Structure 1
Amino acid sequence: MTHAGYEPFEAVEVEIADAVATVKLLAMERIAVLSAQGSQADLHFDLGRALARLREDDAVRVVVITGIVDGEPWVLPAPPYPEGSALDPQPVDFPDWMWKGFMGVRLTHQTLAEMEKPVIAKVNGDCIGFSQSIMFGCDLIVAREDAVVADVHMDLQKLFGFDTVPGDGGSALVPLHMFPAKAMEYLLLAKPYTASELAQMGAINYAVPAERLDDVVADMTQQLLAKSAYALAMTKRVVKRRVAEQLNLTIDAASAYEWVNFLHYRGSGGKKNTRLE
């Protein structure tokens, strides 16, 4: 059950106990149901706002981000748009339908980089699309070993009919976690990795059997709670300066370029285009 004061964030559930906040990302199917009921739930925006609230909540010392159901994807590659709806060529209104999502992307990543409390990614299911950039934005990453992690922006031909720039933070964060050639292969070819493979290349902290995930994260959380909150806060701020700088350099441009890709597709009448023209 969502903790009192966090009910407005419909696309996430926030539970707080013993100074630990657990933020559970709702599956995209659940968000679609909420939308059909007239809700304005948006994972990008709600997560950013929830994290901003948690940053100021003195009852919280550690944050854990995870999926709402063990074994299910954190979020799907993209919302299940009805065919021919959101992407049909049409005049661009302000705010455009993508405006809120991109605002949320920036709020989420900037808050993850700036908040003084340690944030653990507890990857309990496949981590696809925006969720993998959330994962890479966390301070510590523990995943079930069979979880699949992928940035699918350059593999959206199957869903949208065109590929696009990773505008959700991945283009800034992935190069901080992988060697350049690996980061390029991961982003340009939308190459998926298992959590075990990411752990072997040093891109995440641990990949563990599903039955050990809770225990490993709980142990890590208790180690953090045993340390000085102030020392943790200032250590995190110092280490995260590089991340914040990378986001400042990259995320606005990446979001804008992805937006341009969507607008270009709409302006072309929905025709696939693999050439620069």
Structure 2
Amino acid sequence: MDEPIDYRRYTQLGVELGGRIATVTLCSGARFNAVTWRMHHELGDVFGDLARDARVDVIVLTGAGDAFCAGADLRWLQGQLDDPPAPREARERGRAIVLGLLDCPKPIIARVNGDAIGLGATLALLCDIVVAVDGARFADPHVRIGLAAGDGGALIWPLLIGYARAKEFLLTGNKVAAPEAARMGLINHAVPAAELDATVQRFARQLAAGAPMAIQFTKAATHIPLRQAVESVLEASLALEGQTLRSHDAREGVAAFLEGREPRFRGR
């Protein structure tokens, strides 16, 4: 018998087990649970560990405090502008997170307790059921800091809400409030804060009490088009993001955000 997986090696993800349900909490320590270098690597590993853990049938993904995830920590991103990762390394990191979520056979519920922005939105939207507090907002504002939407946004938004709506949000970086996101099919449910935990737990307990093989095989079947899209859309978008990461506009966009001013993009 395999040894139980020890989740103590995760320092920016909290992992708690109980009743066949694992709760993964984004807790980088950065403002609004922004994704740091360490969290980025941990996100690429944790869903594989949970997939192999015989104690777990259902996963809940949430954020610490009042935020879900603000996307990449911009000071970490600024460091990448100064010392860009090798293109292959950057693509492999991005793929590891997306495939970790998509290839995990166990159902994953996003408990979105606050804003889900950039990579934070991608993490939530790649889950199987998304329940958000009604005050949360979703956005993928890569373009606002001079980057292509390369970490999964260009993959998942069009598949959920169609190309016209998806391009509106991806090309502008505009936010969509959770109730409207639910109405357009971007997420499943937007509920008052007082109902968030009960709603998430109702789904989690129902799935945990269900037939694991049937649920997992159904998830695998419905993910076939998603996996096919990964090999085309995700690979291309990660490569394009890598190109913009080396641009003047990205450097200007990040600097402007950190300095609290409007960016002056030059298209180069």
Q: Do Structure 1 and Structure 2 share a fold, with TM-score over 0.5? A: yes
Q: Does 1:206 align with 2:178?
A: no
Match of 1:48 among 44, 47, 59: 44
* Superposition pairs of residues 1-277 of structure 1, within 5 angstroms: 5-27=6-28, 29=30, 42-69=38-65, 71-72=66-67, 74-81=68-75, 86-88=80-82, 95-96=85-86, 102-156=91-145, 163-265=146-248, 273-275=265-267
Q: How far apart in 1 are the matches of 2:198 and 2:251?
A: 51
CA separation of 1:101 and 1:59: change in aligned 2, threshold 3 A: farther
Identify the structure with the greater helix proportion: 2
TM-score between both structures, scaled by the size of structure 2: 0.85
Aligned residues: 256
CA separation of 1:45 and 1:267: change in aligned 2, threshold 3 A: closer
Mapped contact 1:125–1:148 kept (Cα < 8 A): yes
Q: Deviations over 1:125-144 (max 9, x none)?
A: 11011010011110110000
The one-letter amino acid of 2:160's match is: H
Task: Return 5+ residue gaps in structure 2 as ranges.
Answer: 256-262
Q: How far apart in 2 are the matches of 1:84 and 1:134?
A: 22
Counterpart in 1 of 2:258?
A: none
Task: Return 5+ residue gaps in structure 1 as ranges.
Answer: 36-40, 157-162
Q: How far apart in 2 are the matches of 1:239 and 1:83?
A: 34
Partner SS, residue 148 of structure 2: coil
The one-letter amino acid of 1:225's match is: A
Identity over aligned residues, as a percent?
30
CA separation of 1:48 and 1:127: change in aligned 2, threshold 3 A: same
CA RMSD of aligned residues (A): 3.0
CA separation of 1:179 and 1:111: change in aligned 2, threshold 3 A: same
Partner SS, residue 235 of structure 1: helix
Q: How far apart in 2 are the matches of 1:84 and 1:117?
A: 35
Mapped contact 1:28–1:75 kept (Cα < 8 A): no
CA separation of 1:168 and 1:273: change in aligned 2, threshold 3 A: same
Partner SS, residue 63 of structure 1: strand
